Each structure stands twice: as structure tokens, then as C-alpha cells.
Amino acid sequence: GAVVSQHPSWVICKSGTSVKIECRSLDFQATTMFWYRQFPKQSLMLMATSNEGSKATYEQGVEKDKFLINHASLTLSTLTVTSAHPEDSSFYICSASPTSGIRNEQFFGPGTRLTVL
């Protein structure tokens, strides 16, 4: 149980294009999902909190017009990197916490490696 998937697992795109990353909770519902970015050999950097049915909450320094987040249902959140540039190349990871029960754990997806040429 508590499986989170991400698609695609890796993507290579040209500078200026947009890339959409999907995050799905496969066997539980999640009112809230989180999007992280991770640089090599560094810890997780929270980018935004995605709330089902409402606007995402972005961390300081994260451009909300560049990183569009949509939480369309209790099992799906998407991150769109708009007009991607080489500096956006990174490892993007989503996580989700089950809506029901008292558990507070986050369960992470396998991550998406984005390379912008």
C-alpha cells in the first residue's frame, strides 16, 4: 500500500519548451501533495504544496508562473515547467500523505529526471 507514481521517469527537452510531470497516488487519496526539487548530493528542497481543488502554495523563491501546479483530483497532481531552461534541469520528486487516518507520513514517488538542452 501507499504507492506513489510519477510519469515520466525521465525527460529531455529543448530550451523554451514546457514539460508536464504527473504524480499519482495509486492506492490512497491525498488531499495534499508536495513537490520537491533535488540537486546532486543535496537534500530535498520543497517547491510547493499542492492542494486538491485549490491553488498551490509556493515556497519563497519559487516562481509560480514558471512551475505550474494543478491538483485535479485526490489522486493526481501535475507540475508543468514552463519555458524550460538548462538551469531547470534537476530531479523532481512528488510526495503525498493519505487523507484518511491519523498517519502523517509522506510517501514519495520515484522522481523525474529533467534535462533541458
Partner 1 sequence: EDQVTQSPEALRLQEGESSSLNCSYTVSGLRGLFWYRQDPGKGPEFLFTLYSAGEEKEKERLKATLTKKESFLHITAPKPEDSATYLCAVRGTGGSYIPTFGRGTSLIVHP
| Binding flag, residue 6, partner 1 (CB under 8 A) | yes
The one among 99, 103, 115, 117 contacting partner 1 by CB under 8 A: 103
Interactions with partner 1, residue window 76-95 (CB under 8 A): 91, 93, 95
| Binding flag, residue 34, partner 1 (CB under 8 A) | yes
| Binding flag, residue 16, partner 1 (CB under 8 A) | no
- What is d(CA 6, CA 78) in angstroms, rounded to the nearest whole number? 9
- What is d(CA 92, CA 2) in angstroms, rounded to the nearest whole number? 19
Quote the longest CA-to-CA distance of the chain. 44
| Binding flag, residue 32, partner 1 (CB under 8 A) | yes
Closer CB to partner 1, 40 or 86, in the complex: 40
DSSP state of 59: P
Q: Which of 32, 34, 28, 31 is nearest to 2 (CA)?
A: 28
| Binding flag, residue 51, partner 1 (CB under 8 A) | no
User: CA separation (Å) from 18 to 46, 65, 89?
Assistant: 21, 12, 12
Q: Applying CB under 8 A, which residues contact partner 1?
A: 2, 4, 6, 32, 34, 41-44, 46, 49, 91, 93, 95, 103-111, 113
